[in-house]
């Protein structure tokens, strides 16, 4: 029915190399790496051979070129990426705590990403799209929010579908508009891809079974719950639950796993695969991604996923 599209931040990511170190003193960092949750997601769709496009804005600088070149090379439609003459490409600095949690210093709203809007190229891409994937981080950008709501309405009116990865980041939940649009998007979602905390937030309930039941009853067709190294689970209305164990891999960098997971699941479903096969491929995409340093370095082709599934041990 037309390409999968997403809207939102394209960033460079710069990471602390030492676990536990903060940003209050000098330390060694690595990067820049192409990043931004929507960018990672759409790059993974394209690498699997899915038609894919992104509405975004980068600066007229090396950080922007690094990203746009990668997306173009991997087959993403970049026609709706605006190059801002006045604003630099956004960035994210990441540090890792000893318990595996991450802290981010984001520079999104006051970067080129803050300038995302409904340009003629964006309208054109929306007019051709068959599916809209909403990344929760993008809802913190007022301009992106408007484009997302317009894209959802337009694509649904044409019989297209919507997926939503809440991807909540405490650093980005700073204005009421983000929460309001969160609920609006949820009401239009066909496929929800939350972590457990995000499932509870979406449902307003803290029991997993009750939260899933309530969201399915509200009209969400499929929920795929991401559980990190515990794997993932599928839930659908009047369909049996499917659990899928994670693959046993040595994690190098967890950032980007959820984005690749969601992209692989959606792309498999859009290619006509059943939920169990799509879940297996999504688990493989998440697992492969965490074995690379850099959020977008571990994206996979379908052939790479197939080969990985055939030989990788499960947890
Ligand atoms: P997010 O990045 O959104 O927090 P998760 O950390 O749950 O999402 O990762 C998404 C998926 O990637 C998991 O459901 C799992 O399939 C895979 N994954 C993540 N971390 C690992 C890991 N350490 N080992 C194997 N698979 C992993």
Task: Note the pLDDT tens digit of each residue in 4-15.
Answer: 999 999 999 999
For a mutational test of ligand 1's pocket, the pick from 35, 165, 261, i.e. the residue with the most ligand atoms closer than 8 A to its C-beta, is 261
Is the Cβ atom of 39 under 6 angstroms away from ligand 1?
Answer: no
Sheet holding 11-16, edge to edge: 29-35, 11-16, 90-96, 102-107
Is the Cβ atom of 261 under 6 angstroms away from ligand 1?
Answer: yes
- Residue pair 305/273 in contact by the 8 Å Cβ criterion: no
Distance, in Å, from the CA atom of 232 to the CA atom of 265, rounded to the nearest integer, reads: 11
Report the nearest-CA residue for atom 17 of ligand 1: 286
Residue 159 pLDDT greater than 90, yes or no: yes
Residue 174 pLDDT greater than 80, yes or no: no
Residue 179 pLDDT greater than 80, yes or no: yes
Q: How many angstroms is it from 294 CA to the middle of ligand 1?
A: 15
What integer is the mean pLDDT of 80-108? Answer: 94
Q: What is the pLDDT of residues 19-78, one digit of tens each?
A: 888 888 888 999 999 999 999 999 999 999 999 999 999 999 999 999 999 999 999 999
**Confidence tier at 178 by pLDDT (50, 70, 90):** confident
Question: Residue 177's pLDDT is what?
Answer: 81
For a mutational test of ligand 1's pocket, the pick from 257, 288, 291, 299, i.e. the residue with the most ligand atoms closer than 8 A to its C-beta, is 257
Is the Cβ atom of 251 under 6 angstroms away from ligand 1?
Answer: yes
Question: Residue 170's pLDDT is what?
Answer: 76
ipTM score of complex: 0.98
CB-count exposure of residue 139 (10 Å: 0-12, 13-18, 19+): buried
Is the Cβ atom of 231 under 6 angstroms away from ligand 1?
Answer: yes
Poorest-pLDDT segment among 40-49, 95-104, 110-119? 95-104
Question: Residue 172's pLDDT is what?
Answer: 80
- Residues 23-42 as b/e (b if ≥16 CB within 10 A, e otherwise) read eeeeeebebbbbbbbbbbbb
Proportion of the chain in helix, strand, coil states, percent, rounded to 5: 40, 25, 35
Is the Cβ atom of 172 under 6 angstroms away from ligand 1?
Answer: no
For a mutational test of ligand 1's pocket, the pick from 38, 258, 263, 300, i.e. the residue with the most ligand atoms closer than 8 A to its C-beta, is 258
Distance, in Å, from the CA atom of 122 to the CA atom of 155, rounded to the nearest integer, reads: 13
Is the Cβ atom of 249 under 6 angstroms away from ligand 1?
Answer: yes
What integer is the mean pLDDT of 139-148? Answer: 96
Is the Cβ atom of 284 under 6 angstroms away from ligand 1?
Answer: no
Q: What is the pLDDT of residues 224-273, one digit of tens each?
A: 999 999 999 999 999 999 999 999 999 999 999 999 999 999 999 999 99
Length in residues, the chain: 315
Is the Cβ atom of 298 under 6 angstroms away from ligand 1?
Answer: no
Distance, in Å, from the CA atom of 221 to the CA atom of 192, rounded to the nearest integer, reads: 8
On average, the pLDDT of the chain sits at: 96
Is the Cβ atom of 287 under 6 angstroms away from ligand 1?
Answer: yes
């Amino acid at each position: 029915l037309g390409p999968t599209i997403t809207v939102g931040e394209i960033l460079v990511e710069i990471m602390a190399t030492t676990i536990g170190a903060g940003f209050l003193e000098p330390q060694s960092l690595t990067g820049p790496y192409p990043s931004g949750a929507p960018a990672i997601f759409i790059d993974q769709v394209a690498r699997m051979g899915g038609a894919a496009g992104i509405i975004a804005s980068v600066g007229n600088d090396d950080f922007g070129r690094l990203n746009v070149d990668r997306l173009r090379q991997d087959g993403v439609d970049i026609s709706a990426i605006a190059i801002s003459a006045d604003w630099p490409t956004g960035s994210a600095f990441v540090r890792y705590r000893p318990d595996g949690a991450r802290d981010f210093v984001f520079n999104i709203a006051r970067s080129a990403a803050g300038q995302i809007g409904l340009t003629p190229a964006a309208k054109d891409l929306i007019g051709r799209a068959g599916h809209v994937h909403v990344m929760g981080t993008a809802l913190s950008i007022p301009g992106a929010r408007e484009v997302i709501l317009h894209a959802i309405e337009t694509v649904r009116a044409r019989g297209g579908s919507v997926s939503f990865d809440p991807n909540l980041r405490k650093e980005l939940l700073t204005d009421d508009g983000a929460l309001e649009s969160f609920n609006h998007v949820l009401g239009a979602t066909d496929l929800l891809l939350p972590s457990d905390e995000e499932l509870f937030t979406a449902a307003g309930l803290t029991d997993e079974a009750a939260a899933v039941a309530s969201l399915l009853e509200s009209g969400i067709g499929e929920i795929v719950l991401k559980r990190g190294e515990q794997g993932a689970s599928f839930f659908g209305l009047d369909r049996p639950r499917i659990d899928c164990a994670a693959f046993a891999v040595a994690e190098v960098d967890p950032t980007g796993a959820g984005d690749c997971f969601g992209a692989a699941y959606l792309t498999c479903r859009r290619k006509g695969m059943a939920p169990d096969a799509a879940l297996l491929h999504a688990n493989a995409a998440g697992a492969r991604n965490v074995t690379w340093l850099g959020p977008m370095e571990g994206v996979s082709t379908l052939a790479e996923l197939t080969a990985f599934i055939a030989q990788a041990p499960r947890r």
